[in-house]
Amino acid sequence: MSTSTTGTSPGNRAKRAADSDWVDTMGAVGLIVYGVVHVVLAWLAIQLALGDRRGSTSSTGAVRELAQGPVGGPVIWLVAVGLVLLVVWQAIEAAFDHRDEDGVKRTMKRLQSAGKAVLYAALAYSAVRIATSETASGGSGGGGSGSGGSSTDTMTAQLMNAPGGQVLVGLVGLAIIGVGGYRFYAAYEEKYTKKMDRDFLTGSSGTAFRWLARIGYVAKGLVLIAIGGLFLYAAATHEPKKSGGIDQALRTLLDQPFGPWIVIACGVGFAGYGVYCVARARHLQR
């Protein structure tokens, strides 16, 4: 006798799991952790603008900074767990969510969620490595400082050595610039208000949230465009070391006219994005 029905199929069970409260809780915890990382990143960016060029002004650098605090060990493990939850949340969204969209738009949304899961996984991996180093050393092991660009250099060098490598690196740069440009568009259209409690978005608190999120999105868009520009320059000059991540992008911006003020503005934007993540965690509505 068959006990299988449409309502109890593995696919439907997975969809019900995706809609459950525990998935929202995972997302909320992960967003809070991600927000904290951005607030620390904001502090590092402002320190860089004020002349402190030590360490790495990047998401990994922010995680390392948390590890070096007075209670760095427990904190960094909480950060690592939160980031892992963020990965799982986005993976579930990529597999089962965005059902209110149709066709190509649903596919694009799910690919976007998958891309976020990969991004968060890379940061979670760094956090776990820093946490295990911290545990093994019993102190601020963290692993290295510097500009944090070596992994990007290696990736770009490997890509550059592939057939058509310069073109591929240039395409990566254009793609990153495209993502950065979309951040500006999302800020203008307030895309970040989707799937949030509509009541929270009204009144003075809602207005403050909208502005913080907008500033955060613009700052992240600016840095992404700078990163994409570095990849294009690396492709044009055939110099992998010219590419880089957030740290190198901020240092490049710092060397421009009014550079310190631009980097401070980016720092304020990162802080705004961090607050946005925490507020989104509190008022998430899927």
CA angle 33, 113, 25 (to 5 degrees): 40
Give me the domain span that covers residue 143: 6-282
Looking at residue 142, what is its pLDDT?
Answer: 43
For 153-189, the DSSP string reads HHHHHHHHTSTTHHHHHHHHHHHHHHHHHHHHHHHHH
With respect to residue 1, please indicate whether it lies within any of the assigned structural domains.
Answer: no
Overall pTM surpassing 0.85 (yes/no): no
Looking at residue 32, what is its pLDDT?
Answer: 92
Please state the domain count of the chain. 1
List 196's β-bridge partners, or say none. 284
C-alpha of 82 from chain center: 13
256 φ, ψ (degrees, to nearest 5)? -85, 165
Looking at residue 208, what is its pLDDT?
Answer: 86
Cα 208 to Cα 40: distance, rounded to the nearest angstrom: 21
Looking at residue 222, what is its pLDDT?
Answer: 92
With respect to residue 125, please indicate whether it lies within any of the assigned structural domains.
Answer: yes
With respect to residue 160, please indicate whether it lies within any of the assigned structural domains.
Answer: yes
Looking at residue 266, what is its pLDDT?
Answer: 92
With respect to residue 143, please indicate whether it lies within any of the assigned structural domains.
Answer: yes
User: Euclidean distance between the first and final Cα of the chain, in Å?
Assistant: 38
With respect to residue 201, please indicate whether it lies within any of the assigned structural domains.
Answer: yes
With respect to residue 57, please indicate whether it lies within any of the assigned structural domains.
Answer: yes
Looking at residue 263, what is its pLDDT?
Answer: 92
Written as tens digits, the pLDDT of the chain (286 aa) is: 444 444 555 555 555 555 567 877 888 889 999 999 999 999 999 989 988 777 777 788 888 888 777 666 788 888 888 999 989 988 888 887 776 667 787 788 888 888 888 888 888 888 888 888 765 555 544 444 444 444 566 677 777 777 777 888 888 889 989 989 999 998 888 888 876 777 777 888 888 888 888 999 999 999 989 988 888 888 888 777 777 788 888 888 888 888 899 999 999 999 999 988 888 888 876 5
Sign of CA dihedral 189, 190, 191, 197: negative
With respect to residue 154, please indicate whether it lies within any of the assigned structural domains.
Answer: yes
